Amino acid sequence: MSIKILFFGELSESIKKSEITLEIPNSLSVGSLFTNLMKDYQSLGEKWQNHILYAVNHTQVKRDFIVTDGDEVAFMPPMSGG
């Protein structure tokens, strides 16, 4: 299945990507998706592991939320608007 993934703020800047589309064979949680994606960026992954916020289709979700085909997933640093 096909998942669109968005990165924001420092996270996006660090991995030099703001958006990717991923083909994944099985359903998995947003938390696992993040861990898998961060394998190439180990120190970054560890830094953000406990602080990252997850959104699926513009709604914040917990790390065990399971993605489905066509979802738009966002990995977000803690918000700092205002």
Interface stretch with other proteins, choices 3-11, 20-28, 36-44, 61-69 (CB under 8 A): 3-11
Least distance from other proteins to the Cβ atom of residue 61, Å = 12
| 3-state DSSP assignment of residue 34 | helix
**CB contact set of 60 (below 8 Å; sequence gap of 6+):** 53, 54
- Residue position matching structure tokens 């602080």: 51
First to last CA, the chain: 37
| Residue 79 makes contact with other proteins by CB under 8 A | yes
**The binder of other proteins chosen from 2, 9, 27, 68 (CB under 8 A):** 9
Strand partners, 66: 29
> Residues 33-72 vs other proteins: string with x where CB under 8 A?
--------------------x-x--xxx------------
Backbone angles phi and psi of 43, in degrees to 5:
-65, -35
| Chain contacts with other proteins (rule: CB under 8 A) | 6, 8-10, 13, 53, 55, 58-60, 74, 76-82
